Structure 1
Amino acid sequence: MTKGYLLVLNKDEDTVSIVCTETKATIKTVETDYNPHEIIVSHDGKKTYITCSQGNKMNIMNNETFEIEKRLEHPDFQFPHGLGLSNDGKKLYMASTFSEKVFIFDTETDEITKILSTDQKHSHMVAVSPDGKNLYIPNIGSHTITVIDAETEEISSHFPVGKGPEGVAVHPNGKDIYVANQEDDTLFILDAENYELKYKRRIGHVPIRIVFSPDGKYALIPNRESGDLSIIDTEHELKGNVRPWEVKRIRVGVWPGGTVFNQDGTLAYVANNKTNDISIIDMHIMQEVEKINVGIHPDGIAFLQADHTTDI
C-alpha cells in the first residue's frame, strides 16, 4: 500500500482536509477562499491548485507546509472549475464554467499565458489525452465536447455527446474517450480518432466524474443522485467478446463526487458530499471497506505521495 495524503475540498466550509492514508486521520485543515470545488497536484508534488468556484479565485497551496501561498484572480474567473496539467507539468489548464473559457497558465510563474473562448455553454471540466496532444472540455449546456490542440493552443473541433456531459477522461491506451452524461444517465465511449460512438451504457443516476485506474483496467464513475459508484471493466471478456462493461455498482455515501486512486491502484477514494465522508474502496474485492469523516460537503479530492511532503 502506498503511503500518502488525501487532499479533500470541503466546499461548504471553505477548507481542505489533509488526511493521512495510513492513520485515516485529518492531520491539518487549511482555510481556502469561498467554495473550493476542484483540485490538482503538480507533477513534482510541490504545490496544489484549487479552484474556489463561487469565490472566483484560484488558490495555490504549498505542499511542504500545507499553506495557501498564492491567490489568483481574473475578471473572467466566473465559477472556475475543472483543472488539467500538460504531460511535462509546465502548463496548467482551467475551465471557467460561466465565462465559458479555458485558461492556460505557466506553472513556473503561475501567470496566465492564454485564454480561449469555447463558444459553448457551461464549459466545466478538463481532460488531457495520455499523449498530451489534446484537451477535452465538456460543455454541460451545449451537450458537446470541445477539443483543444495543446501544441497550437487553439480549438480544433467540437463533437456532440449525450445530455449534460460533465465527467470526461481518456483511457490510458489513448484510443477511447469516456464521457459521463449526467442528464440522461449514460456513459458514452467514443473513438479518439474520429469521435464516433463505439459503446453506450446506462449507468447510475446523474453520473458526474470518470477516473481510470493507473493500469486502465477499470473506470470508476460516481453517480450523484443514486448514491453509488459504477465500476467499469474497460476490457471485459465474455464468450469471446471484449468490450467495456459495468461489472459492479456499489453503494457509497450520499451525493458521491470527487474520486481518486492511490498510486498503485489498489484503493480508490470517493468524496460523499452530503454524508461528509470519504468512502475507501478496496479494488481487489470491489467493496467499500471503510469511511473517513472530513468536513462539510467534500467534493474535489487528490492523492499526494508522502515523499513529496515533510511531516506536519
Structure 2
Amino acid sequence: MKEYLIALNKDEDTISIVNVETNEIEKTIKTDHNPHEVIVSADRKKTYVACSLGNTVDIVDNETFEIVKRLTHPDFNFPHGLGLTKDGKKLYLASTYSEKVFIINTETDEIEKVLSTFQKYSHMVSFSPDGKTAYIPNIGSHNLTVIDVEKEEIVNHIPVGPGPEGVAVHPNGEHLYVANQDDNTLFVLDTNSYQVLHKRRVGSVPVRLVFSPDGKYALIANRESNDVSVIQVEHKVNGLVRPWEIKRIPVGRWAGGIVFNEDGSRAYVANNKTNDISIINMKTLKEEGRIDVGIHPDGIAYLKI
C-alpha cells in the first residue's frame, strides 16, 4: 500500500501527487482552470476535482493518475465544495455563484439531480456521520442549508455566524461545528435542536474545519493569521467539560485545506501563499516539516492505495 497527498495548485492549474513516505512529488497533473476542492471516491479508485474558474469537475483515475473525464453543466458557476454520501454512491457538489447543489452518481459520473439553495454563496458540503443529512454553508446568507439525503430535498436553513465556511459534524453525531470567517468565531450547535451551545474565538478568517479520526480534536485553518486552531472537543478544567482552543499552531501563509492521514497521527495543511504543505504531528501538536508543491495549494486529500 502507498500513501499519497493530492494537493490542488489553484493558480497554476495542476495537481501535485505527493508520496507521503518520501514527501516528494511523484507526478504533476494538468487540470482545468483553478482547481479548488478535491475528494477521493469511497472505493479509492477515483479522485474528483472541482475546477472553480473552469466550471468543470475533473475526474482522475487513481491507478494512472490521469484525468479520464471532465464533467460540465450550464449551471456550474464556481463549482467548489465536494462531499460523498456514506455509501459512496452519490457525490454532492456545491456551486458557489449559481447557489445550487449538484448530485452526481459516482458509478456513471453523471449529474442526477440539481437542488437550488436560494442562498448566497453556497460553498462547501459536509455530511453527518450517519449519512442522513448534508450541510451546505452559505457564506453570503450567514446560514447552513440542510438536505435530507434519503429524500434528496432541502428541509431547512439554519442561521449561524457571519460568513460560515468550515463545517463538520463531530463523529458522535451530536455536535455541528461551524467556522464563521467574517467574525473569526467557532459555533458549536446541537444537531437535534440546532441550538448554539458554544461560541469560541479562533484565528483570523477561519476557512476549513476537520475532526481528527478519533474525534478528540477539531482543526481549523485560519487563513489570515496563518495558523491552525486546535480545539479539544472535551476539554476538562475546574469540573467543566467543553470545547476549547488549547493551541494555535503557526503554519505557512494563508492556511487552507486540512486533511488527516488514516491513523490520525499527522495532519496536513495546504498553505496558499508559501506554496507548501505543513506537516503537523498530532502527538506533539507541532509543525514538524513542510512539503513544497505548486503555486497556491488549497484543496487537499489523502489517498491510500
Which TM class, normalised by the smaller chain length?
over 0.9
- The corresponding residue for 1:22 is 21
- The corresponding residue for 2:58 is 59
| Percent of paired sites with the same residue | 68
Residue 209 of structure 1: SS of its match in structure 2?
A: strand
Where structure 1 has 5 or more consecutive residues not aligned to the other structure, the ranges are: none
- The corresponding residue for 2:303 is 304
After superposition, where does 1:108-119 map in structure 2 within 5 Å? Answer: 108-119=107-118
Matched, 1:226 2:221: no
- The corresponding residue for 2:151 is 152
How far apart are 1:160 and its partner, in Å? 0.4
Amino acid at match of 1:278: I
Return the alpha-carbon distance in structure 1 between the equivalents of residues 238 and 143 of structure 2. Answer: 35
How far apart are 1:174 and its partner, in Å? 0.3
Amino acid at match of 1:49: Y
How far apart are 1:241 and its partner, in Å? 1.1
- The corresponding residue for 1:250 is 249
Where structure 2 has 5 or more consecutive residues not aligned to the other structure, the ranges are: none
Return the alpha-carbon distance in structure 2 between the equivalents of residues 245 and 295 of structure 1. Answer: 34
How far apart are 1:3 and its partner, in Å? 5.0
Query: Size of the alignment, in residue pairs?
Result: 305
Return the alpha-carbon distance in structure 2 between the equivalents of residues 174 and 235 of structure 1. Answer: 15
How far apart are 1:250 and its partner, in Å? 1.1
Return the alpha-carbon distance in structure 2 between the equivalents of residues 265 and 242 of structure 1. Answer: 23
How far apart are 1:84 and its partner, in Å? 0.3
Return the alpha-carbon distance in structure 2 between the equivalents of residues 254 and 73 of structure 1. Answer: 32
- The corresponding residue for 1:82 is 81
Residue 94 of structure 1: SS of its match in structure 2?
A: strand
How far apart are 1:291 and its partner, in Å? 0.3
- The corresponding residue for 2:95 is 96
Q: Deviations over 1:137-172 (max 9, x none)?
A: 000000000000000000010010000001100000
TM-score by length of 2: 0.99
- The corresponding residue for 1:188 is 187
- The corresponding residue for 1:142 is 141
Change (3 A) 1:42 1:266: same
Return the alpha-carbon distance in structure 1 between the equivalents of residues 25 and 231 of structure 2. Answer: 31
TM-score by length of 1: 0.97
RMSD: 0.7
Matched, 1:33 2:28: no
Return the alpha-carbon distance in structure 1 between the equivalents of residues 19 and 105 of structure 2. Answer: 30
Amino acid at match of 1:280: I
Amino acid at match of 1:234: V
